[in-house]
Structure 1
């Protein structure tokens, strides 16, 4: 997998990006032995960053599945979270909800312009979504692009503005509007997984209407 991180950080990165996994798969992705992976996971568990539980899948012995704890997820920064939430609250209290909506709309328009400029050279929908994933990754969203029989899937494994989105979900609505705008007419964008609603990641199903 060529993850350029210290061994004690690789497992955290893998679980954030891939979700809950059994020990054997984590070891393969870390490119270490099963015992080596177990050593690192137990150390991380002692620090409260990961946890495991036994999961039964049909017949046979239960399988030990590892996942991040809330503290583990917190290792991936939420950009300026406390300041942003405080600013949102102050705008609400001093200027009102209408002013906050106006600010978010302006943010949306700037996002449309920025992404639209970056995507203008891409011809196919696949190229546009792939480029969008690259941009979002640079912005801290750990984004990935997939293509399957249903069309295109944009996955964001992390949300660097999660605290702001929880304080004002209009940010999430605005984000969806930006994607729909820059991907062009006749393209359907539907959010199928949402971190704010308890999912591990945000995912967008993208197809031609």
Structure 2
């Protein structure tokens, strides 16, 4: 959902509109470098950095240091803060938090996980049907990533060689969390998501990073135990 855009002339784009577009890009694609944002906005890197500096001062963005894909030289990326996330309307998350809050108060903390696990089992059955034609682990991973992207997770599946023997391992990386405000208050949602993937694939699945913990993405390793 894009932020409301202020009026601008046809011959130029106002600084505020550029900042709005910049926030939209970070919301859509997840944490981005200044170079990536400059390219997407079709502006110079110094211009992008000026806008990023303003948004950092406003508390809409935060700067982090990440390794691309978990490897390579560390780089500075910019991600939405809670204040930045709040600029995008999301009444659904507020409703979910209220429902889970009342569920916990009425039936105890364990009730939240029971409800979410029941939901995960139902989702796993539905996804197994949808992915029935996927013969290999990689095809199932790619099919799940496509399904997750339709739901707003901006997910990709990829294969990497790990360890001294060069073992091939599949990963699913979710670059956005549409349920972030819920996940930050109820870690059971993330526990349930991991359970869902384990039920779906029937092989070991481990989570290496988590957006709700302040990291840039949710990264799942599929088919082999993590280090």
| Alignment partner of 1:108 out of 120, 136, 143 | 120
Give the Cα–Cα distance (whole angstroms) in 1 for the partners of residues 123 and 103 of structure 2.
21
- Corresponding residue of 2:10: none
SS in 2 for 1:149: strand
Q: Structure 2, unaligned stretches of length 5 or more?
A: 1-16, 66-74, 163-168
Q: When the two structures are aligned, how many residues end up with a matched partner?
A: 193
RMSD: 3.2
Give the Cα–Cα distance (whole angstroms) in 1 for the partners of residues 108 and 177 of structure 2.
26
Of 147-156 and 32-41, deviating more is 32-41
| Alignment partner of 2:134 out of 122, 136, 149 | 122
- Could you give the per-residue CA deviations for residues 102-146 of structure 1, whole angstroms, max 9, x where no partner exists? 322321121111211121111111111111111111111111122
Distance 1:173 1:42, change over 3 A: closer
- Could you give the per-residue CA deviations for residues 141-176 of structure 1, whole angstroms, max 9, x where no partner exists? 111122111311111112122232233322222211
Give the Cα–Cα distance (whole angstroms) in 2 for the partners of residues 127 and 77 of structure 1.
34
Of 41-50 and 199-208, deviating more is 41-50
SS in 1 for 2:222: strand
Q: CA deviation at 1:53?
A: 8.8
- Corresponding residue of 1:49: 60
SS in 2 for 1:203: strand
Give the Cα–Cα distance (whole angstroms) in 2 for the partners of residues 103 and 15 of structure 1.
32
TM-score by length of 1: 0.74
8 A Cα contact 1:76 1:158, kept in partner: no
8 A Cα contact 2:184 2:213, kept in partner: no
8 A Cα contact 2:157 2:173, kept in partner: yes
Give yes or no for the alignment of 1:176 onto 2:188. no
Q: CA deviation at 1:88?
A: 0.9
| Alignment partner of 2:48 out of 16, 34, 37 | 37
| Alignment partner of 1:82 out of 65, 69, 94 | 94
Give the Cα–Cα distance (whole angstroms) in 2 for the partners of residues 167 and 18 of structure 1.
20
Q: CA deviation at 1:46?
A: 6.6
Q: Structure 1, unaligned stretches of length 5 or more?
A: 1-5, 55-63
| Alignment partner of 2:106 out of 94, 97, 100 | 94
